[in-house]
Amino acid sequence: MGTDVSVLALIRGPLRNRSKPWPVVKPFRFAMACAVCVGGWTLVDSSGVFESRVTAASAPSFSVDIAPILQKNCVVCHSSSTKMGDLVMDSYDALMKGGIHGSPVVLHNAHGSRLALMLEGKIEPRMPFGADPLPAGDIATIEAWIDAGAPGPAASETTKPITAAPIPEIKTEVPVVSPVAAVTFSPDGGLLAVGGYREVRLLDPATGKAVATLSGHADYVRSIAFSPDGKMLAAGGGPPQQWGEIKIWDVQSHQLLKTIHGHNDCIYSIAWSPDGKLIASGSYDKTVKLWEASSGMELFNLKDHIDAVFAVAFSPDGKRLATASQDRTVKIWDIATGRRLYSLSDASDGLTALAYSPSGDRIAAAGYDKTIYIWRLGKDDGHLDQSLIADEDSILSLVWSPDGKTIITSSSDGSIRFRDAATLDPIRVIDHQPDWVEVLSVSSDGTRLAAGRFNGSLSLYNLENYKEVRGQMMAFEPRQPTAGNENKQVAQ
């Protein structure tokens, strides 16, 4: 019998105590050992085929072995806030419940479980999506856990939701400049607000000189909106995968008035309603929120998008809100009730930019598929008026001129393009930009265009002759290396 136990050890893997040599096992005794151990690890069916089994007693632990793998690789896309494919993996119960395809785990059958098949790449898309495949050892651990019946945490364990692994702060080794992530003119055109890493810079457009720096933001300021009277400024951002942040500043005194925390991921776009009472925010967490500007109180949480929301805009009359998403739709909402009125679903890829026409009867959007879409808006529905593949690469920003005659776009093809809003025919192109123009803003009088770039540079253009005013400016000073990193070299 001692030999039979050693045979089982050979099948299961190395014993913890390997001080003694392995016994020599004759083929007959090996076969007998495998045949009699029905309740242990191997079964022999009538055809003589071996079927591997794993006992729960030796299975990997969900809390010790499985949860860390999920935390590192899965919950970024499959948390309670993101729910890609409606699958949540931030707890054992949520994982076993499954998503739109049902439970991803078939007990005692790893090779029939959707979770294992997608990790192995046998079902598309392979997971983790857009990342390197899991190490073979991690996949084997998950499969062994499933084959053992996918046991959950022990009753004695204190369970906590599985949260995404913290993002480490990367110390700079060379001087770096923040990209221009947001730019907008004040209503009177007297100030230009520029958003970057952890701060907003207020510039005088006439001279290009900095008037003030509004610092203390948690991460990149990705969107800026002035109140209609120009007295306050809202700056939206927040750390990715953590939360959204809106800081509201007094423009005259440069004092922080309030900070609003909301969303389960960073904010990509904010807008101030024409009457000054509301602020809208769109987030990577797929939701849109409406806030009372005076108190910072959340009024509505709009949840109809199924992917990141990159742009929000109030209609000129302030009665409706438009939102554009990576889910390829524009949605129109009623402000008074928070009810979705209808969706515009003609885009073939994600939408990154959105703008109402000054008259409010049309809306333009653009994004990854290089196409400008213009919809004619009705009370209960909208229809596609025209569309055009307008650039050679993804469109990053889109604005409508105040007179309604021109649509201006910037693209990762390195251009700024001006088109007739009625026909989308080209008017002018400013190409050979030194880097991607991430954001655009037109002054309220329609005479100046601000263009902020990924390399931290900023340009102002005269829209009468399309000429650059005073040359490129750097919106932010370079951040110096962390002490002790100054002499490190960067690989070329």
State both tokens at 232. Answer: 């306050």
pLDDT tens for residues 370-396? 999 999 999 999 999 999 999 999 999
Question: Residue length, the chain?
Answer: 492
- Judged against a pLDDT cut of 80, whether residue 134 lies above it is answered with yes
Average pLDDT over residues 131-138: 89
pLDDT tens digit sequence for 299-331 = 999 999 999 999 999 999 999 999 999 999 999
pLDDT at 8: 29
* 447-491 pLDDT per residue, tens: 999 999 999 999 999 999 999 998 889 988 887 776 655 554 433
- CB distance 438 to 396 below 8 Å: yes
pLDDT at 17: 35
Q: Work out the burial of residue 337: count CB atoms within 10 Å of its CB; fewer than 13 is exposed, 13-18 middle, 19 or more buried.
A: exposed
Q: Cα(365)–Cα(347) distance, rounded to whole angstroms?
A: 9
Mean pLDDT of the 48-62 span? 59
What's the pLDDT score for residue 250?
Answer: 97
Res. 157 pLDDT band, cuts 50 70 90 = low
Q: Residue 473: exposed, middle, or buried by beta-carbon count in 10 A (0-12, 13-18, 19+)?
A: middle
Q: By the 8 A CB rule, do 196 and 176 touch?
A: no
pLDDT digits (tens, 9 = 90+) for 75-128: 877 877 666 777 888 889 889 998 888 999 999 999 999 999 999 999 888 888
pLDDT tens-digit readout, 73-82:
888 778 776 6
Q: Is the CB of residue 210 less than 8 Å from the CB of residue 231? A: no
Are the C-beta atoms of 269 and 298 separated by less than 8 Å?
A: no
B/e letters for 111-121, b = 16+ CB within 10 Å, e = fewer, are eebbbbbbbbe
What is the C-alpha separation between 397 and 445, in angstroms, rounded? 20
Task: State how far the Cα of 7 lies from the Cα of 2, in Å rounded to an integer.
Answer: 9
Three-point CA angle 238, 244, 248, nearest 5°: 80
What are the tens digits of pLDDT across the range 172-181? 788 888 999 9
Give me the mean pLDDT over the 327-341 stretch: 97
**What is the pLDDT at residue 3?**
38
Q: Can you tell me whether residue 380 is helix, strand or coil?
A: coil
Looking at per-residue pLDDT, the higher value among 420 and 491 belongs to 420
Instruction: List pLDDT tens digits, range 235-276.
Output: 999 998 888 999 999 999 999 999 999 898 999 999 999 999
Q: Are 254 and 215 in contact (CB under 8 A)?
A: no
pTM for this entry: 0.70
Query: Is the C-alpha dihedral spanning 297, 302, 306, 311 positive or negative?
Result: negative
Lowest mean pLDDT among 22-26, 346-350, 373-377: 22-26
Per-residue confidence (pLDDT) for residue 55, from 0 to 100: 54
CA angle 247, 187, 447 (to 5 degrees): 130
Contact (CB, 8 A) for 457 and 414 = no
